[in-house]
Amino acid sequence: MPAPTQLFFPLIRNCELSRIYGTACYCHHRHLCCSSSYIPQSHLRYTPHPAYATFCRSKENWWQYTQGRRYASTPQKFYLTPPQVNSILKANEYSFKVPEFDGKNVSSVLGFDSNQLPANAPIEDRRSAATCLQTRGMLLGVFDGHAGCACSQAVSERLFYYIAVSLLPHETLLEIENAVESGRALLPILQWHKHPNDYFSKEASKLYFNSLRTYWQELIDLNTGESDDIDVKEALINAFKRLDNDISLEAQVGDPNSFLNYLVLRVAFSGATACVAHVDGVNLHVANTGDSRAMLGVQEEDGSWSAVTLSNDHNAQNESELERLKLEHPKNEAKSVVKQDRLLGLLMPFRAFGDVKFKWSIDLQKRVIESGPDQLNDNEYTKFIPPNYYTPPYLTAEPEVIYHRLRPQDKFLILATDGLWETMHRQDVVRIVGEYLTGMHHQQPIAVGGYKVTLGQMHGLLTERRAKMSSVFEDQNAATHLIRHAVGNNEFGTVDHERLSKMLSLPEELARMYRDDITIIVVQFNSHVVGAYQNQEY
């Protein structure tokens, strides 16, 4: 979790403070915030627009705030101790090991590690993991929110239920519906694997259940029960689209309960991307909406590691996405549908849940806002209409699904929000995790990447390596180990404690300028079970 401002504020060098505060901007609408030269544009889900200039104003007492504190005239070094660093890095880590039966692990998944490091306050990323109890398989996903955390929170709670229901055979759906009708206990569908910080909304549980029940009732009506062959790809696509449709419908209908009414509107007007993996034996499906990524770690015969991408970013860097968007709208909108590499010049991901500002007609938006609670009407974000808004919807939650058949050399899968991929190359990510899992990281030669290194610097690198070896292992969680590198890596590819300490010491109002929220799940595969599946087919 972010370090308290009062405790770690002096940890930034004084020379950096003057540079940071000289350009920093305080804004109540982070998603529409004007950016300083120190905020990478890739970190902002929404880019500034002239019409929003009035939304962003500098903090009136900013000068007094900085002048009110006394700083030494010469730079001083203040660093977090290693235990303090570890406390911050490990605050949200979680691990799960698949249980063994009769001394054997019969699952193709050995287990997984996950972790989160916030940059926003509160964090806008979410994560989920669950075992499907009525079907074989495990679900894992990361969700990256924007314009607030409401949508990513709702999707993290609800999407796996929609997927699980979509995968159920007709007979099981009937059993569940009959149990609800007669008031009997329901068959459990999912076994959740949650960190204590992974919040679930009890207030909205009844609303969410009713929408889910309507969905499985429709699946029962559509399926005559003649065939129980489930197409996993189709099930994933249907689940994503149906949940997004329910989020939109709930916001339009509203709720007599004022709290719930405001909640469903916040969910609909904020947005979230999603990257979800379904693992069943050797069958791996990745459903992706947005710009989080899934990366497969493959160990080659010589022991080296290679990265296989199992998702595509849905943004302006994806030519097929650009083409899709242009084909879905009239030719006279070809130059306006994507401007400055953003949807309508505003939104970075081209696919997302929620974000009804890019989906509803203008009339519907106005009608919902006018009839909504006062809190919604006070939110400037809900009032503006995107420029060149002629033929909605411009945004979809439909996922792109990629299938991969697992092989013995496929050792792990990494699901991570874009906060990781903005800081590290995919090959480095896979190598670091692979070396961590196999314990080979201390045996590799030190790479200096073409830099001229003095004997003193090389001695320091070797000393650092020896210290790590003597301390056995600093991290017991692969996701934590990866976050440590993402935040603290230096030009030599090793973790620099000074840099790591500085980055973790940034106050909440400054952390977002340097990095995004980072959420990671590392899924480790059981090569023996995967190999056994292969042998059975030959």
Per DSSP, the three-state class of 287 is strand
Instruction: Determine the residue type at 27.
Output: C
Mean pLDDT of the chain: 83
pLDDT recorded at residue 509: 82
pLDDT recorded at residue 65: 37
In a domain, 332, yes or no: yes
- Alpha-carbon distance of 138 to 333, in angstroms, equals 42
- If one counts the domains in the chain, the total is 1
- Alpha-carbon distance of 339 to 347, in angstroms, equals 10
pLDDT recorded at residue 228: 66
Which element (helix H / strand E) includes 97? strand 94-97
Q: 189 exposed, middle or buried (CB, 10 Å; 0-12, 13-18, 19+)? A: buried
pLDDT recorded at residue 3: 39
Per DSSP, the three-state class of 255 is coil
Q: Is the pLDDT of residue 118 over 50?
A: yes
C-beta neighbour count of 421 within 10 angstroms: 21
pLDDT recorded at residue 77: 57
Mean pLDDT of 184-194: 93
Torsion of CA 211, 239, 117, 521, to 10 degrees: 140
Mean pLDDT of 419-435: 96
pLDDT recorded at residue 376: 73
In a domain, 47, yes or no: no
Strand partners for 188? none
Q: Count of residues for the chain? A: 538
Banded model confidence at residue 238, pLDDT cuts 50, 70, 90? very high
Instruction: Determine the residue type at 391.
Output: T
Q: What is the pLDDT of residues 37-46, one digit of tens each?
A: 334 444 556 5
Which element (helix H / strand E) includes 253? helix 232-253
pLDDT recorded at residue 19: 36
Q: Is the pLDDT of residue 53 over 60?
A: no
Specify the DSSP class assigned to residue 257: S
pLDDT recorded at residue 381: 67
Q: Is the pLDDT of residue 50 over 50?
A: no
Mean pLDDT of 147-165: 97
Q: Which domain holds residue 321?
A: 82-464+474-536
In a domain, 298, yes or no: yes
Beta carbons of 94 and 193 less than 8 angstroms apart: yes
pLDDT recorded at residue 508: 81
Q: Is the pLDDT of residue 181 over 90?
A: yes
Q: Is the pLDDT of residue 109 over 80?
A: yes
Beta carbons of 477 and 93 less than 8 angstroms apart: yes
C-beta neighbour count of 383 within 10 angstroms: 14
Q: Which two tokens mark 15? A: 């020379």
- Alpha-carbon distance of 420 to 518, in angstroms, equals 6
How close are the terminal C-alpha atoms of the chain, in Å?
50
HSE, side-chain direction, 13 A CA sphere, residue 162: 27
Helix 258-269, helix 150-167: angle, nearest 10: 90
pLDDT recorded at residue 78: 62
Closest listed residue to residue 108, CA positions, set 481, 420, 536, 538: 536
Banded model confidence at residue 271, pLDDT cuts 50, 70, 90? very high
Banded model confidence at residue 493, pLDDT cuts 50, 70, 90? confident
Q: Is the pLDDT of residue 383 over 70?
A: yes
Banded model confidence at residue 103, pLDDT cuts 50, 70, 90? low
Banded model confidence at residue 465, pLDDT cuts 50, 70, 90? low
Is the entire prediction scored with pTM above 0.95? no
Mean pLDDT of 409-434: 97
Q: Is the pLDDT of residue 306 over 70?
A: yes
Q: Is the pLDDT of residue 443 over 60?
A: no
In a domain, 349, yes or no: yes
More confident: 59 or 416: 416
Q: Is the pLDDT of residue 52 over 70?
A: no
In a domain, 178, yes or no: yes
Closest listed residue to residue 131, CA positions, set 89, 88, 98: 98
Q: Which CATH number do you get for residue 221?
A: 3.60.40.10
Portion of the chain with pLDDT greater than 90, in percent: 63
More confident: 445 or 120: 120
Banded model confidence at residue 384, pLDDT cuts 50, 70, 90? confident
In a domain, 231, yes or no: yes
Q: Which of 424-433, 451-460, 483-492 has the least mean pLDDT?
A: 451-460
Q: What is the pLDDT of residues 505-531, one digit of tens each?
A: 988 888 888 899 999 999 999 999 999
Q: Which two tokens mark 469? A: 């070896």
DSSP letters for 527-538: HHHHHHHHHHH-
Q: Is the pLDDT of residue 304 over 90?
A: yes
Contacts 24+ apart (CB under 8 A), 528-531: 529/105, 529/106, 529/107, 529/108, 530/108, 530/282, 530/406, 530/407, 530/408, 530/410, 531/408
More confident: 512 or 480: 480
More confident: 286 or 454: 286
Mean pLDDT of 193-208: 92
pLDDT recorded at residue 525: 97
In a domain, 278, yes or no: yes
Q: Is the pLDDT of residue 142 over 70?
A: yes
In a domain, 459, yes or no: yes
pLDDT recorded at residue 444: 46
Q: What is the pLDDT of residues 10-47, one digit of tens each?
A: 333 333 333 333 333 323 333 333 333 334 444 556 55
Q: What is the pLDDT of residues 354-378, one digit of tens each?
A: 999 999 999 999 999 988 887 776 6
- Alpha-carbon distance of 156 to 454, in angstroms, equals 49
Q: Which of 94-108, 200-214, 268-282, 303-317 has the least mean pLDDT?
A: 94-108
Specify the DSSP class assigned to residue 278: E
